Amino acid sequence: MFSAFNRTIPQLSIFHNTQSSSSKEALRLLQNALTVAQQNKAPLKFNLEVINDQPPTSDQLRTIQSYIKPSSPASPSPSIFISSHPTSDVQPNTIDDVVKLAKSNPNALKWPIVVDWDAGKAVVGNLQGVKSMLEEMRKEQTE
């Protein structure tokens, strides 16, 4: 009863590379979800923080890594943040290595990184994942 009073507005962040076409598309999807009604439903309600051309900090990456569902029982490797077509031969072994690589070569990172801090969910370099995140949010907000 009165569970709607306990709902908070979700806090989403997109770590956005302004040179990446998939990052631009993800940003467009997020912005449209805030402003455009879809399927006869009101726009979604969430706060969107856009971080342009800056990789997440090591603390943020550790948190994001914990939000990603692993495909095996082990936690996801730091390599989940690295592009499959890296412009560097260095393969990071730790989150701190990822941050160093991203600062020296931003194109080595998978873009975009979209995080729902409140729901503990994250998507790295995957437009379909962003769409799924928005659909889940739409279902939650219509309940």
Q: What percent of the chain has pLDDT over 90?
A: 61
Does the CA dihedral 105-109-112-113 come out positive or negative? negative
Query: Does residue 122 have a pLDDT over 80?
Result: yes
Would residue 4 count as lying in a domain?
no
Total domain count, the chain = 1
For residue 16, what are the domain limits? 9-142
- pLDDT tens-digit readout, 71-84: 656 667 888 899 87
Buried-exposed string 60-94: b where 16+ CB fall within 10 A, e elsewhere:
bbeebbebbeeeeeeebebebbbeeebeeeeebee
The pair of structure tokens assigned to 96 is: 């701190």
Q: For residue 39, how many other CB atoms are within 10 A of its CB?
A: 6
The phi, psi pair for 78, rounded to 5°, reads -55, -20
Check whether the bond before 112 is cis (ω within 30° of 0). Answer: yes
Within a domain: 3:
no
| Residue 1 domain-assigned (yes or no) | no
Asked, for residue 51, whether it belongs to a domain, the answer is yes
Does 50 fall in a domain? yes
CATH code of the domain in which 89 resides: 3.40.30.10
